[in-house]
Structure 1
Amino acid sequence: MNTADRTRMGDGTPGERTVMLIHGMWSGPHVWENFRAYFEASGYRVLTPTLRHHDVAPGAPVNPALATTSLAHYADDLEAGIRALGVTPFIVGHSMGGLLAQMLAARGLARGAALLASAHCAPVFALDPMVAWFFRRAFLTPFWRRTQLPSYGTMRWGALNGLDEEEARRLYTTLIPESGRCLAEMAFWYLDPRRAAHVDARKVTCPLLFLTGSEDRLTPASIAWSTADYYGGKARIEFLRGRAHWLPSEPGWEEIAARVERFFRTETPLSRTRTGAAEAAPERFLPLPA
């Protein structure tokens, strides 16, 4: 947890209004600038932790240890930060951050989790030709022991296609390489003896909200459907027509932030039990405005 987040511990905000925003691959807390401002204006204490070895300026050399950093390392760091809070927060995760949010929920560390363009957990199979094409260059190398950052062209096609050209190029300049081991743990979880990406759905007792874009090529809607189905009645999925992968920054992010805040405020009350969450879940596939 970064220094700014520690400073916010003393602001007197009630613990039940705490939200943790977890960034995804190649990214950092800056991806949450819009969401941070929105939730703070809504009265939440907002935490935007930096994943291990991601505290580096774009273009600067990364820590060599990043190449073999595991999802478990990220999750353990986040768990330590949450336990230090003394309260259980709401969690919003983007992309790989969505998988980390699922892992934390299974550890009993989330009151509710909103998963934006989320990566899948094991044991969900996510065989999709678009995802394979996205990572095609990485898969031709021993990527599991190297850092990896797709080219701008690949990112523009599969992850930044919801932004205009100027904003996509600007955002790409903020990205850093990501752990190859994490990619291996997600893409080929069945070959990982440690099962780092595995989440036991039975241990997730809080409500989950999956938001997925119709134009997302990195985590397509089919993957989100399969992952949400894995959790049964504890999860709902809503379809964002015309949206792509970089949901925290794409035009219309305000509608998504408002939907997430409403989910936390009205669908994850403190008294909600596992059974109640399942019984209260309405229709699971609803479009947001395009």
Structure 2
Amino acid sequence: MGAGMGYPVVLVHGMWCTSASWKRVVDILSPRGYDCYVPSLPAHDDSTDQPLQVRRQSLRDYLDAIERGVAERDFAHPPIVIGHSMGGLLAQQLATRIKPLAMVLLTPATPRGINALTPTVFAAFLPWLLGGAFWRNPHKLGFAHAQRYAFNGVPVDRHRALYESLVHESGRAAFELGLWPLDFSRASLVHSAKVECPVYIVSCGKDRLTPAGVVRKLMKRYRHATLRHYAERGHWVIDDDETEEMMHAICGWLRPYEQRHLRSVS
């Protein structure tokens, strides 16, 4: 999806996902006048050797690739950056480099310095952690784990199709994200003081991968952040029964910033 005439939006997907995971959100944003740039992270497009290709990718590799993609598109206006899950962390890092108009974080992973390894999150990743040399191996949630930890809140009859759309994730990136005290490269670090744009954050009461209590700690890093909490939703907010309402609310929040910017350059 290249640059068009609408206001530019950069959508950054999370673990195990591809650009296709954003289809529902793109279908909501595009008719509202947004030009969506939806990259897949490096080695995330499905292929026979995808697990081997992805296993040693770093968060730094992901961030550099997104930044290059944004630069190549040379948007006419500062883009809006929207990130989900791990993409929420990458969105924060990207926002320190490109100065977006606004940033939206949907059930975001948190940066270095915030302990996100709650008992529930630990249980979700336990099979991977027990796999031996886990930081070097690709991983993908088993179907039952995906149902319990990622898709809770999505109608059960859609779980299998969602699961089949997932790919393997980098063991290295997961290590950098979840076990950051052991990561001397500091790959999950965010210089939050450099994020100057407005921030909108979504947390969910039944989120078992990025729990609401952890997300609230993230909010404290951004002085003018707006938090929208959904008590009954799980992690997969990019395609559940309330995605449309959520995105409509986000569009309403974004419009004044877009209009102010467009007036300033007209």
List structure 1 runs of 4+ shifted beyond 4 angstroms: none
Please list, as runs of the form range in 1=range in 2, the aligned pairs for 1:1-290 lying within 5 A after superposition: 5=1, 8-9=2-3, 11=4, 13=5, 17-57=7-47, 60-62=48-50, 64-87=52-75, 88-140=78-130, 141-231=132-222, 233-267=223-257, 269-270=260-261
Higher relative contact order (CA 8 A, sep 6+): 2
CA distance in 2, matches of 1:236, 1:43: 23
* Residues 23 and 94 in structure 1, CA contact (< 8 A), matched pair in contact too: yes
CA distance in 2, matches of 1:254, 1:183: 29
Deviates more, 1:23-32 or 1:60-69: 60-69
1:210: Cα distance to partner?
A: 0.9
Matched to 1:120, the amino acid is: T
Matched to 1:217, the amino acid is: R
Length, aligned pairs only: 259
* Residues 124 and 230 in structure 1, CA contact (< 8 A), matched pair in contact too: no
Deviations 1:121-163 (A, max 9, x none): 1122223110011111111222110000111111111110111
Matched to 1:69, the amino acid is: Q
- Report percent identity of matched pairs: 31
Matched to 1:82, the amino acid is: V
- Find the residue that maps to 1:46 and give its secondary structure: strand
1:267: Cα distance to partner?
A: 4.7
> How well do the aligned residues superpose, as a CA RMSD in angstroms?
1.7
* Residues 205 and 234 in structure 1, CA contact (< 8 A), matched pair in contact too: no
Deviates more, 1:165-174 or 1:257-266: 257-266
* Residues 214 and 221 in structure 1, CA contact (< 8 A), matched pair in contact too: yes
1:201: Cα distance to partner?
A: 1.2
CA distance in 2, matches of 1:225, 1:217: 14
CA distance in 1, matches of 2:42, 2:253: 29
CA distance in 1, matches of 2:156, 2:33: 34
* Residues 212 and 239 in structure 1, CA contact (< 8 A), matched pair in contact too: yes
* Residues 51 and 169 in structure 2, CA contact (< 8 A), matched pair in contact too: no
* Residues 212 and 224 in structure 1, CA contact (< 8 A), matched pair in contact too: yes
Unaligned runs of 5+ in 1: 272-290
Unaligned runs of 5+ in 2: none
1:63: Cα distance to partner?
A: 5.2
Partner in structure 2 of residue 280 of structure 1: none
